[in-house]
Amino acid sequence: MQSLAIYARLFTRALSGTEAENFLYNGLLRLSTSASVHNSQGSNRPAVSSSSPTITRAVHLVTATSGYSGHDDDDEDEKEHLKKKTNSSKIQRTNRANGFGDDAFFIAKSRIGDFLGVADGVGGWREYGVDPSLFSSSLMAACKSLVDNKLLDLNPLTLKELLSKGYKQLLEDKQCIIGSSTACIVALHREKSILHTANLGDSGFVVIRKNIIVHRSQEQQHYFNSPFQLAIHPTIKDPNLIADSPDAASVTSFNVEENDFILIGTDGVWDNLPDSTVIEEVKKIKEPTLDNIQLAAHALAKRALDNGHDPNFYSPFAKSARRSLGINICGGKPDDVTVLLAAVTSTS
């Protein structure tokens, strides 16, 4: 197998269809005679599942976070490069309180619900002198502010509304924020025990019940490694730049049970952790205390980071490349990793 490490730096999140096509045809596709373009665009209508019994008592989420900037080695290379080329416009990575690398997250509570969200800033903007983490962190901060200020109800369409309002705040921001990111938000209605979700792009979530994944988000891609994304572009119009509406988010609502676990992560998690690894770490939680959940969150984040830098690991990303492009490669995908792990716990 070809090593995925060779291509890790090339698998940059696409900023435009033209760039992606040039990369695919001039790079990877010459390795294989068969290639297919993956396009998974799901329904935008909220799906409500009643397969699980409704809990009669109130519940809440006990949540732990963990993560890593997956490009620490790249940072050192960038610093050395910038010393030699002081006129370079390449933006170095920024450490922010609500994120890891270009990833960002938020945790918030409203009168009736617990909200969790992650966003993955598109790293390709760095090549254009734009800090990708500014967009993702600003989006998550805006969403948190909207929840904290009690400006939302909680129903199947609330999270799409939350994304829309958060995105609108960025559009109106006087800083003239430029960039793009994926987004995944979930919210637990504490009294009704219903989890509402919204996902745009290839961040996502799973719900684990009795060591089985019973719900998962739908990944949204325009083509391989080019996820749906909210975006604010420069004033120069380019029809090839990707920009999706918050209305494109896939939304679902379903009942949850006490002791369910909810894992939310950016693509650095899902590209490098198979389901079996997720289940393996969650199974170690004997009691859903914050300390135990935190240990599991750290373990999941560390394994995703390590797998991403392992050239011999047959990662979910490598498997997806084989399905979508017909290429036979191996290795993880170095990337930022953000994990939010929550347990559904009864409220006494």
pLDDT at 235: 73
Q: Sort 60 into a burial class: Cβ within 10 Å, 0-12 / 13-18 / 19+.
A: middle
The span from the CA of 266 to the CA of 291, in Å, is 22
Question: Could you list the pLDDT tens digit for every one of the 348 residues in the chain?
Answer: 444 443 443 344 545 444 443 433 333 332 332 222 233 334 444 444 544 454 468 999 999 999 999 875 444 444 343 333 333 345 555 667 789 999 999 999 999 999 999 999 999 899 889 999 999 999 999 999 999 998 788 999 999 999 999 999 999 998 889 999 999 999 999 999 999 999 999 999 999 999 999 999 999 999 999 999 999 998 766 666 889 999 999 999 999 999 999 999 999 999 999 999 999 999 999 999 999 999 999 999 999 999 999 999 999 999 999 999 999 999 999 999 999 999 999 987
Phi, psi of 32 (to 5 degrees): -145, 150
Query: Which residue in this structure is represented by tokens 């559904």?
Result: 344
Q: Which token pair is 7?
A: 């291509």
| Residue ranges covered by each domain of the chain | 2-346
Residue 34 CB neighbours (<10 A): 8
The answer for residues whose C-beta is within 8 angstroms of residue 34's C-beta and 6 or more apart is 326
The answer for residues whose C-beta is within 8 angstroms of residue 223's C-beta and 6 or more apart is 14, 17, 20, 24, 37, 38, 39, 324
Class of the CATH-defined domain 2-346:
alpha beta
Q: Which token pair is 271?
A: 């590209």
User: What is the helix (H) or strand (E) element at residue 250, kind and residue range?
Assistant: strand 250-255
Q: Sort 237 into a burial class: Cβ within 10 Å, 0-12 / 13-18 / 19+.
A: exposed
In a 3-state reduction of DSSP, which class is residue 185? strand
Of 224, 223, 213, 187, the C-alpha closest to 46 is 187
**Which DSSP letter does residue 272 get?**
T
